[in-house]
Structure 1
Amino acid sequence: MDDDNFAPTLRRVRRLVVDYLRPHLDRGSTPVPVAVWEAPGEPVGWSEAVEMDFRPVTAGTPWGRPWGTAWFRVDVDASGLPGALELRVDIGFDHSRPGFQCEATVWDGRGRIVKALEPMNDRVTIEASAGDTVTLYVEASANPNILFAEGGSATAQLNNMPTPLGDLGTAPADPLYRFRGAWVAPAPGEPAELIADIEVLEGILRVGARDSRRYAQVCRALRAMLEVVDTDDLDGTVDRARAALAPALAARAAPSAAVLHAVGHAHIDSAWLWPVRETRRKVARTFANVLDLMERDPEFTFVASSAQQFAWVEADYPELFGRVADRVREGRFLPVGGMWVESDTNLPSGESLVRQFVEGTRYFLETFGIESDEVWLPDSFGYTGALPQIAAAAGKARALVQKVSWNDTNRIPVSSFAWEGIDGTRILTHIPSVDIYNTDLRAEDLVRAESQLRPRGGLTHTLVPFGYGDGGGGPTRQMIASGRRSRDVEGLPRLRFSSPSAFFADASAELTADLAWVGELYLEAHRGTYTTQRAMKVGNRTMERLLEKAEHVAAAAAILTGAEYPYALLRATWQRVLLLQFHDILPGTSIAWVHKEARLAYAEAEATIRAVIDEGLGYLPAAEPSAHAAFPVSAVFQEGRHVLANEYLEAVVDHRGWVVSLRDRRSGHELNAPGEPLGVLRVHPDTPGEYDAWELDADVERVGAELHDVDEIVHSGDDGARTIEVVRSFGHSRFRQRYTLRAGVAALEFHTHVDWAESRKLLKLAFALDVKAESVSFGTQFGYLDRPAVRNTSWDRAKFEVPAHRFAWIGMPGQGIAVCNDAIYGHDVSRHTRDGGGSTIEVGLSLLRSPRFPDPTTDQGEHAFAVSLSSADGIADAMREADRLEGLSIEPIPPAARLVSSMDPGIVVSAVKLADDRSGDVVVRFHEALGERGRARLGLHFPAGKVRRVDLLERELPGSPVCLDGAELSLDIRPFELVTLRLSKHGNSTY
């Protein structure tokens, strides 16, 4: 006999689990009667549903049109059923995956949520005395399998085939699921524990070396277990079977093993492949599951971010929320992150990110009296270099991020590190080395977490978030059972059930000075999200500008005239906009339903805030009309060329409708590279290998069609502004480009109107510039950052598409050029050496994409873009031009309506508002934007009393003194520093 041939043993073990132990868990199960009522439209509440006419339903009955809701009434007769019972309900689950399908909420007869039902968590414990009849109501959601819409094949998933299921208007009406039945059985006992023992040991075998002593020891323990277990008497022999396995489970982990901090978690996207209304139910289901686990396991803790999700539960399910609040007070249900939602961080403005922290942190403080000190953003698509400073100003000292572990080219070389932002602020940051944020604690994940922890010899601790995410229901009893057995066992790293605070304390203790990362955490993936769903980008940017203006104008009206400040309305609108900045809404990666609702929400919010602005301006002196520029714009047509000129620039447009020359009349420099036109439209094939809406492949640069053909060229305008309009066609789309030169403006504007009807195409606007540079400065939140124009390294090459705010500036001694935009984020930069010497920098702006998944109609229709090109000696000139360009769509605040103004070009005021505590104090937020050390000066246009530095929640901070001298305020400021001040009106102080 070959004692080391364990293959037959392992096959017998697997059969024992599948054919005997798992079925034994349902021993004595009894079918129970079920009745159903399907809601004809949108979901209804429990009190309405229970009054409806339920009809009996049997196994095999189809139910659930896409996005529909069915209520199943389950009547459990406990007669003759001793002890604790478990109800199992299968509404048609696909048990091969935890989410992306039907799920349900279980209610009792009093309208109290008991727990949820999901594919991997389909049992409910019944609390009943013998002879009782227990009635439960199962609110089942027929959510489509959108990610696997083409039958669940791997090919369909990778290719992300278009599906009509993402919109109520296009989804078919046929039922998606079949009800399979409901059964009640005695609660499982020791057999379930034996299964957990076996599965942990099987996991050790899967990750271990087959020729190791440990492998043989575990196999021998399993063989010994098989010798004592009797499949005809499992209840009678399970204790001996577990005893046979005990020595293998008792063997301790290696002293050098990493420590994995397992934290209960359930990443729930606030919208994605389901609408916001379904997220509200998903959150309730997950929270109910967590509460059920806490009832049965006094050591279990759980973390949840996104104040918005807590607020939904508070509004929709007050009884459930009360139980959550009790566990929060116990310190077991832990609100983390302190943001309103887990937002994108590349696309929102700096002030938006400030408000994410303000609204989230304030909600947790007001609701629970707690304040977390960490950032929790596992799934955001890259992390701006401005985030450390913003987070620190909101009282956050550490951060958990994850998505950069998806990098397609380079790996961040450290797992725990001091992350330094653009202003020099550092926060302790961790990238869980397990690479995912929804593990079920299987052996493969635990070993991967240890093997990828970097640096290997320097770090011991890593955080492992566990629980089924995306509506999968969170942690389960099986995960906890597995985790308990994996605490200290040979063949696996050490695991402890933990919390973020405990983990970060251990991580901080082993952090050394060399473990650091400076600047943005750029995600080498999901680059298409800077462009996808153009309406999201425009709506968000429009609301950011309008809210900034509305707060300032309303504050001026309140301080200067005594008008009422609309605190509640502004806060509610901010919260609405912050929700839409969630990392699958603003980036454009949700189903059609989500984006349709978002477009409507933006329109409603815009109307509301424009009314606030109009009302505030009505209290204030009217703005005086500005004088016309002294030098008119000329337009001539000669030798087949169109020439526009003012005192600053001369632009030449040829017969193809291309700007073939843009000359700075002051310096004589040409802005365009020799022989290269400016503002060229290019259409590229856009078929990424997977994840249509998310990805933009590097190969997209290699193939593209320039729009040569001209349908029409038209002149318009007067001496104040002249325009050459060029009309082109491509495929099924039509393009109208307007080149506009205004009097007194040192910039040529490129206005592009597109009626877009392409599929899987990318539209770019390209500028070939005559400037030598190795890097380009891109606008970002509260400053700018430099990225390479050369592609020497793999890190450089991976940044073939990058996000930017408002401008890109390229400079060399004697010449700088600014490319400014209005709500365009995706940029690419490349450097080309010219024949005979010299180099060209090409800047491309991504205008539109047309992915088919998850929204088959993404960006079809009309869109408008504004870009300008100008000589710019430095970043300050680029910023001024970006301000001017933005002012074409939203008028700047008139001087008479300003309470505060900057007296320095590098000091940018981002918020002027009244304090949230309704004291009447004025809050001013500004930053140094040029990367220079100096003294910030602000002009005050109201009689200010005391002035103090405050954090983002408007609480006083220590710091260098602020000088208030009459109508001028000044203080020392470091490069890119963000400052918030609180000023009381003269004679009225809260200090």
Structure 2
Amino acid sequence: MHDRRSLIEKRIDRVLTERIKPAVHRTVAELDVTAWHVDGGQGEPVSPATAFAADYEPFAVGDRWGPAWGTTWFRLRGDVPSVAESAHLELVIDLGWADHSPGFQSEGLVYRPNGSVVKGLNPRNTWVPWRTTDGAVDLYVEAAANPLILEVHPFLPTTLGEKTTAGDEPLYRLARADVCVIDHEVWELVADIDVLNGLMLSLPESDGWRSELMYGLERGLDTLDLQDVAGTAAAVRAQLAPLLQRRADEGSHHVSAVGHAHIDSAWLWPTRETVRKVARTVSNVTNLMDEHDDLVFAMSSAQQYEWIEEHRPEVFAKLADQVKTGRLVPTGGMWVESDTNMVGGEAMARQFVMGQGYFREKFGITCEQVWLPDSFGYSAALPQIVKQAGCTHFLTQKISWNQQNVFPHHTFSWEGIDGTRVFTHFPPIDTYNSDLSGRELAHAASNFRDKGATNLSLAPFGWGDGGGGPTREMLQRARRTTDLQGSPKVTIETPAAFFERAEKAYPNPPVWVGELYLELHRGTYTSQAKTKQGNRRCEHLLREAELWATTAAVRDLAPYPSEALRRCWKTVLLQQFHDILPGSSIAWVHREAAEQYDAVAAELEALIDDRLALLTAAPDASAGEVMVNASPYSRSGTPALGAGPRHDVPPVRVTREDDSVVLDNDVVRVRLDARGLVTSVVDLETGRDTVPPGQVAGLLQLHPDFPNMWDAWDVDAFYRNTVADLVDLDALDVEERPDGSAAVVVRRTFAESTAVQTFILRPGARQLNGTVEVDWHEREKILKLSVPIDVHTDRAAFETQFGHLVRPTHQNTSWDEARFEVCAHRFVHVAERGFGVAVANSSTYGHDVTRHAGDDGATFSVVRLSLLRAPRFPDPATDQGQHTLHYSVAVAPDIADAVRAGYDVNLPERRLTGRAFEPVLRLTGQGEAAVEAVKLAEDGSGDVVVRLYEPYGARTSVEVEPDFEFAQVRQTNLLEDQIEPDGLTTDEGRISLQLRPFQIATLRFSRR
């Protein structure tokens, strides 16, 4: 029986592939082709108007075209032959595709001579509709020669990721350009067999329905005349019809199918190509909607909408029309589908402020579903952020990629660090590019982990990354599986419709508390260090620019530069996309990211300098040296969020003892040995040494780093099996600096690289600052910085957006063991009761914290920062060159000290000559809170918006004292919409704010 089944399956496959599918299109004429290669095929994209006016040269099917990243415009012309008026004509174009990887090779967009767009072309969308009444064919195709980077081997170094190194050899041959008659009866027969065969193969061999399907398909093929497929297709369909009419069981799994086309805003292509990918996909979708009224398509990322609006207004007009019908659904509410691990708190909020703001402005829509199918893990701060941004539901798929532990639910309530919960769904179909095949639908039903409690799941379907989105073949499958025995019931509907039914069906879902950690792609916390450095730098410059611009504006010194700030924010938010900030894109993408970060930083620095010059301008000769502080916490006597006179403290003392160097500022005493390694950091108040006996801090360690897969993405646990401690010394110098600080400068050479480590102790500081300057030329290595800490604990606190997350540092469970590399923002804090240490950083995100047995019977912890990697795919030169990284080791008895240390490293005081000025607002009272943003309102009203949060994980009460006139203060959500007071009270001019642990609060002050 098994052999016969195998024979039938092979017969079905061959007949379908070699006879029936080729009969769908019958060629009736060939098109005349001419071509214009933009700048010889290597030029950047041009407008349709420019292309239409170009000189085209003869071109033939079979000719080569397209150096990597080049553009060729084809003009297709021809007379339509006389055919029956009832015949349906289509043009079939093949740009030379491999029969796989839609979205990862050449693509095309078809235009009419009047500039209107018809649809996109790619390996799964080779057809162009044509009516017999349209006259002679005259069309243009903008063909993009995107290289198939993944074709040869997905992890080998490639020169194709940078245009200047990609070469000038044509990559493609035009394979077909025909006028065809499409036989709809044959096309429907293909779908009948495809669905029934897919269902049959998905069922267990013991299932009687599988046998019925097998023999029914065999009888159908017996009816088919292989020499006259078109003439016998109807008879075969009649033979198969009873099988397609069998109804599903009452309790069958129900799949809500949502048309989708996941398009990475950059990855194996630059953002300029994403602009075209999105236009092609949307053209396909709107074209399909014209013919198929059951299609619903969800599209995220406001940035991608804005690209279409700017570069392809004719496509945007069709998109906007379908948004009005409710069939093209803006979703996600974010500027891009960003990374969520490394994005700072205020930047994470602005992803929604900018994204929701765009959707509101253009379509009058506030998205309710967060749509992040492909980001590499999800911060525990997200539930509060998404709820405050107007969203009620969360969707992702990526956690199904876990290497070690299977996530226990597909539908659940996700609780964040502050206690906020959001209804969450992971599609059990385990892909965000489903084709709704029988195999995938069966997997969705069998894989669903909440059986019994509910039977509803969502399936995003459509080819992504420029593959064209949903196809008409996918719609055929959906229609046939609406109610089909043995298959899940498929309904095409919006994400909102699914979530409404899912919540109703599952009113008390299980609760998952904390981060959604992806047990994969841990190397993304470190790859492309300059991209990460640019992000962190610009996030904090934006904070300063908004703060000082607001301070100047409310004092009538200068107008608020809203447009400039919006432009800078958009650039930074785009670079936070989940394949840019994580460092997993081609070289071109990261080169552009560095250029854009530098441009944003230069613009913001100029703005900051201008506003501070106005604020500190002295009307008389009383000006002196002042320190400007943008941190929520005052330092050196400087008012937080303001400027005050410099207060000098005694300089650091430097002594030498037995070849060791000792730095002492009467707060901490630091000792470095002759190798330039820190052997002691003593807190003089308690006498505690932060460095465990026999250990050294500031130790650079080098590991091999060659993961099993996904080079730029992954760090595999076995990297720790081999380590080289970098202790050899080239030189050691001691510097006593004019500002009273002292520094020890250590120079080392290792392998192909050099490192200069500088250890700095400032007057009065409770922390040792460190700088690592590396000229990095290693390959497939990872550089770590080790800081042992003499405290006994089994956990550590890691900063995340608007708070911190406590993770165990033991390996009791497989879940704990899998978190061998984790993300932190500005600090990691390791502590016993009453004593602790914070390791803060200026641009490092990857960390590991481990426990070790001490000589005294207790344990100590080792915090390590992942400084640099050197993967070779997709960018073979990842991180090569010069890097400067900053960190600090701070005596931090409690988490409040750690928070301050994190701000201190990232918001250094600015030293100016001028007069002191008062903060734009102060926080007073018994408690403490952190001011994360001070800005003017997004709507241009001139209202002042202040965002605060509770950073320590404790209830607190603060009073807010603005230093400007205002008429009213209201509490808002992140979108600056008024909400019912949640902790805010006003009484006789006093503004009091009660905050829960990690609560975010936004206050809006209406100006007089």
Give the deviation of 1:866 after TM superposition.
Answer: 1.2
Select the residue among 107, 113, 117 that pairs with 1:113. 117
Q: CA deviation at 1:850?
A: 0.7
Cα distance, 1:857–1:890 mapped onto 2, change above 3 Å: farther
Equivalent of 1:135 in 129, 133, 138: 138
1:878 is matched with 898
Q: 1:562, CA displacement in angstroms? A: 4.9
User: Residue in 2 aligned with 1:728?
Assistant: 748
Query: Aligned to 1:90, which of 91, 94, 101?
Result: 94
Aligned partner of 1:70 among 72, 82, 101: 72
Q: Structure 1: how far apart are the matches of 2:983 and 2:856? A: 57
SS in 2 for 1:473: coil
Candidates 830, 834, 837, aligned match of 2:854: 834
Instruction: Return the alpha-carbon distance in structure 2 between the equivalents of residues 64 and 813 of structure 1.
Output: 65
Residue 37 (structure 1) aligns with: 36
963, 975, 979: which one aligns with 1:941: 963
Partner of 1:932: 954
| Structure 2 match to 1:704 | 723
1:408-447 maps to which residues of 2 (within 5 A)?
A: 408-447=403-442
Given the alignment, which residue of 48, 59, 65 partners 1:46? 48
1:388 counterpart SS class? helix
Tell me what 2:922 maps to.
901
Where 1:205 maps in the other structure, the secondary structure is helix
Shift of 1:503: 0.5
Q: For residue 233 of structure 2, what is the amino acid of its counterpart?
A: V
Query: Unpaired segments of 5 or more residues in structure 1?
Result: none
CA distance in 2, matches of 1:959, 1:786: 29
Matched, 1:917 2:939: yes
Describe the shift of the 1:126–1:736 C-alpha distance in structure 2 as closer, same or farther (beyond 3 A): same
The one-letter amino acid of 2:376's match is: F
Does the CA-based 8 Å contact 1:532-1:850 persist in structure 2? yes
Map 1:823-862; keep pairs closer than 5 Å. 823-835=843-855, 837-862=857-882
8 A Cα contact 1:940 1:969, kept in partner: no
Kindly indicate whether the alpha-carbon contact (under 8 Å) linking 1:530 and 1:826 is maintained by their aligned counterparts in 2: yes
CA contact (8 A) 2:27 2:178 kept: no
Contact 2:93–2:127, Cα closer than 8 Å, also in 1: yes
Correspondence for 2:887 among 862, 867, 877: 867
Is contact 2:183-2:230 (8 Å) kept? no
- Determine the C-alpha separation between the residues in 2 that align with 1:57 and 1:434: 44
Say whether residues 1:599 and 2:618 are aligned partners: no
Change (3 A) 1:960 1:856: closer
2:778 matched residue in structure 1: 758
The counterpart of 2:687, out of the listed 668, 671, 674, is: 668
CA deviations 1:392-438 (Å, max 9, x no partner) are 11110111111111111112211111111111111111111111100
- Distance, in Å, in 1 between the alignment partners of 2:147 and 2:730 is 45
- Could you tell me how far 1:672 is from its partner in structure 2? 0.8
Does the 8 Å contact 2:626/2:911 carry over to 1? Answer: no
Report which stretch shifted further, 857-866 or 895-904: 895-904
Alignment partner, residue 979 of structure 2: 957
Structure 1 position 283, deviation (Å)? 0.2
Tell whether the 8 Å contact from 1:58 to 1:181 is kept in structure 2 after alignment.
Answer: no
Q: Which residue of 2 aligns with 1:258?
A: 253
Once the 2 structures are TM-superposed, how far is the Cα of residue 514 of structure 1 from its aligned partner?
4.9
Asked whether the 8 Å contact 1:620–1:897 carries over to 2, the reply is: no
Q: Residue type of the partner of 2:903? A: D
- Mapping for residues 677-696 of structure 1, pairs under 5 Å: 677-696=696-715
Greater mean deviation of Cα atoms: 292-301 or 832-841: 832-841
In structure 2, the residue corresponding to 1:165 is in which secondary structure? coil
> Is the 1:648–1:745 Cα contact (8 Å) retained in structure 2?
yes
Alpha-carbon contact 1:9-1:223 (below 8 Å) kept: yes
Q: Is the 8 A contact 1:557 1:897 kept in 2?
A: no
How far apart, CA to CA, are the structure 2 residues paired with 1:357 and 1:895? 36
Spell out the pairing of 1:546-585 with structure 2 (5 A cutoff): 546-585=541-580
Cα drift, residue 943 of structure 1? 2.3
**Whole-Å separation in 2 of the counterparts to 1:908 and 1:175:** 57
SS in 2 for 1:624: strand
Deviates more, 1:16-25 or 1:463-472: 16-25
> Helix, strand or coil for the counterpart of 1:432?
coil
Give the Å deviation of 1:921.
1.1
User: Which stretch shows the higher mean deviation, 847-856 or 894-903?
Assistant: 894-903
- Report if aligned partners of 2:927, 2:958 keep a CA contact under 8 Å in 1: no
Determine the structure 2 residue equivalent to 1:637.
656
Contact 2:67 2:168 in 1 (8 A): yes
The verdict on how the C-alpha distance between 1:405 and 1:901 changes in structure 2, with shifts beyond 3 A counting, is farther
Judged with a 3 Å threshold, the aligned counterparts in structure 2 of structure 1 residues 836 and 371 are, in CA distance, closer, same or farther, namely: closer
Report the 3-state secondary structure (helix = DSSP H, G, I; strand = E; otherwise coil) of the residue aligned with 1:776.
strand
CA contact (8 A) 2:960 2:993 kept: no
Distance 1:23 1:30 in 2: 16
CA contact (8 A) 2:335 2:355 kept: yes
How much has 1:86 moved relative to structure 2? Answer: 0.6
* 2:338 alignment counterpart: 343
Distance in 1 (CA, whole Å) between partners of 2:48 and 2:105 is 22
Q: Once the two structures are superposed, what CA deviation does each residue of 1:916-951 show, in whole Å capped at 9, x if it has no partner? A: 222111111110111111212223211232100111
Which stretch of the first structure deviates more once superposed, 337-346 or 916-925?
A: 916-925
How far off is 1:873 after superposition?
1.3
Q: Verify the 8 A CA contact 1:552 1:898 in the aligned structure 2.
A: no
Q: Give the drift of 1:60.
A: 1.9
- With 485-494 and 802-811 compared, the bigger mean Cα shift is at 485-494
The whole-number CA distance in structure 2 between the counterparts of 1:348 and 1:961 is 27
Instruction: Using the aligned pairs only, state the percent identity.
Output: 44
1:573 and 1:35 mapped to 2: Cα distance? 43
Say which is worse superposed, 495-504 or 29-38, in terms of deviation. 29-38
Partner of 2:630: none
The aligned counterpart of 1:782 is: 802
Q: Distance in 2 between matches of 1:558 and 1:651?
A: 45
Distance 1:109 1:627 in 2: 69
Counterpart of 2:66, as a letter, is: G
Give 1:13 shift. Answer: 2.4
Which residue in the other structure is 1:165 paired with? Answer: 160
Distance in 1 separating the partners of 2:2 and 2:44: 63
**Mean CA deviation greater in 790-799 or 503-512:** 503-512
- Alpha-carbon distance in 1 for matches of 2:306, 2:933: 26
Report deviation, 1:235: 2.7
| Partner residue in 1 for 2:528 | 533
Q: Give how far 1:516 is off.
A: 1.1
Alignment match, 1:361: 356
8 Å contact from structure 2 (residues 626, 916) kept in 1: no
* Distance in 1, Cα, partners of 2:503 & 2:733: 65
2:24 is equivalent to residue 25 of structure 1: yes
**How many Å separate the matches in 2 of 1:587 and 1:894?**
42
Counterpart-to-counterpart distance in 1, 2:73 and 2:436: 33
Task: Describe how 1:230-245 pairs up with structure 2 within 5 A.
Answer: 230-245=225-240
Q: State the Cα deviation string for residues 729-778 of structure 1 (Å, max 9, x = none).
A: 11110000011111100111121111111111100001111110011011
Q: Structure 2 residue aligned with 1:811, among 788, 809, 831?
A: 831
Specify which of 792, 798, 801 is matched with residue 818 of structure 2.
798
Alignment match, 2:995:
973
- Partner amino acid for 1:140? A
Q: 1:122 to 1:744 in 2, by over 3 A?
A: same
Deviation at 1:553, TM superposition (A): 1.0
1:296 aligns with 291
Cα distance in 2 for residues equivalent to 1:367 and 1:3: 59
Contact 1:37 1:71 survives alignment (8 Å)? yes
Encode CA deviations 1:314-373: one digit per residue, 9 max, x unaligned. Answer: 001111111110100010111001101001111111100111101111101111111111
Is the counterpart of residue 821 in structure 1 residue 841 in structure 2? Answer: yes
What is the rounded CA distance, in whole Å, between the counterparts of 1:298 and 1:734 in structure 2?
Answer: 63
Task: Give yes or no for contact 1:305–1:342 (8 Å, CA) kept in 2.
Answer: yes
